């Protein structure tokens, strides 16, 4: 496993009862550009659509902007992943680019979307950090 570092940040997603249901992290962080790419997975379908993804995303975005001093966070998502897209939109991410036939899965090429949020946009939606 790649060691944790500025460019490789990983957290477990747990319920309040301590059940480990997924993971979230940042990779390919570029300090010069103050940007990074986000990845998230909740493995157990029983925990989907219960708000855990949005809560984890908002927590990590807050950490990225307040603590890591990043300026931009993006990710890629399959166009047909409506749940993920809704979750990211709730967090304030906007769809920027369509990557045509970017991924091959289940016998077909799929378009992916690049979604992103800038620090000022996050603060406008969710407030600045308490000082
Ligand atoms: C994507 C993922 C992280 C989202 O986390 P989650 O806890 O399920 O998401 P949330 O409950 O916070 O939010 C889901 C949103 O999708 C909406 N939603 C659920 N099912 C939907 C569907 N079939 N179509 C459209 N929207 C849907 C919910 O209403 C909610 O929107 P809202 O915030 O406007 O109410 C999680 O589902 C997951 O890990 N899925 C499998 C792996 C995956 O897709 N990873 C992402 C790869 S980019």
45-89 per-position pLDDT tens digit: 999 999 999 999 999 999 999 999 999 999 999 999 999 999 999
In a domain, 3, yes or no: no
In a domain, 105, yes or no: yes
Domain count, the chain: 1
β-pair partners for 73: 36, 117
In a domain, 72, yes or no: yes
Q: Whose CA is nearest to atom 19 of ligand 1?
A: 83
Instruction: Quote the mean pLDDT of the chain.
Output: 94
pTM, two decimals, is: 0.95
Closest by Cα among 117, 5, 111 to 62:
117
Q: How far apart are CA 95 and CA 98, in angstroms?
A: 8
**Ligand 1 site, residue 15, Cβ cutoff 6 A:** no
**Ligand 1 site, residue 19, Cβ cutoff 6 A:** no
When pLDDT is averaged across residues 126-131 and rounded to a whole number, the result is 80
Q: Cα–Cα distances in Å, from 116 out to 20, 73, 95, 97, 121?
A: 27, 6, 7, 10, 10
The closest-lying atom of ligand 1 relative to the alpha carbon of residue 76 is 48
Instruction: Give the residue numbers spanning the domain of 16.
Output: 8-126
* Residue 32 CA, ligand 1 centroid: distance in Å: 32
In a domain, 1, yes or no: no
In a domain, 110, yes or no: yes
Instruction: State yes or no: pLDDT of 95 exceeds 80.
Output: yes
In a domain, 2, yes or no: no
Q: What is the CATH number of the domain that holds 42?
A: 3.40.630.30
Instruction: State yes or no: pLDDT of 108 exceeds 70.
Output: yes
* Segment holding 116, helix H or strand E: strand 108-118
């Amino acid at each position: 496993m790649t060691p944790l570092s500025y460019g490789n940040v990983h957290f477990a997603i747990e319920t309040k009862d301590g059940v480990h249901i997924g993971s979230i992290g940042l990779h390919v962080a570029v300090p010069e550009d103050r940007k990074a790419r986000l990845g998230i997975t909740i493995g157990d379908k029983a925990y989907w659509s219960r708000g855990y993804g949005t809560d984890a995303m908002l927590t990590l975005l807050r950490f990225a902007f307040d603590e890591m001093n990043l300026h931009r966070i993006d990710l890629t998502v399959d166009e047909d992943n409506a749940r993920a897209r809704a979750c990211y939109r709730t967090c304030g991410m906007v769809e920027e680019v369509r990557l045509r036939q970017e991924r091959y899965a289940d016998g077909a090429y799929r378009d992916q979307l690049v979604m992103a949020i800038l620090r000022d946009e996050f603060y406008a939606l969710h407030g600045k950090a308490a000082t």
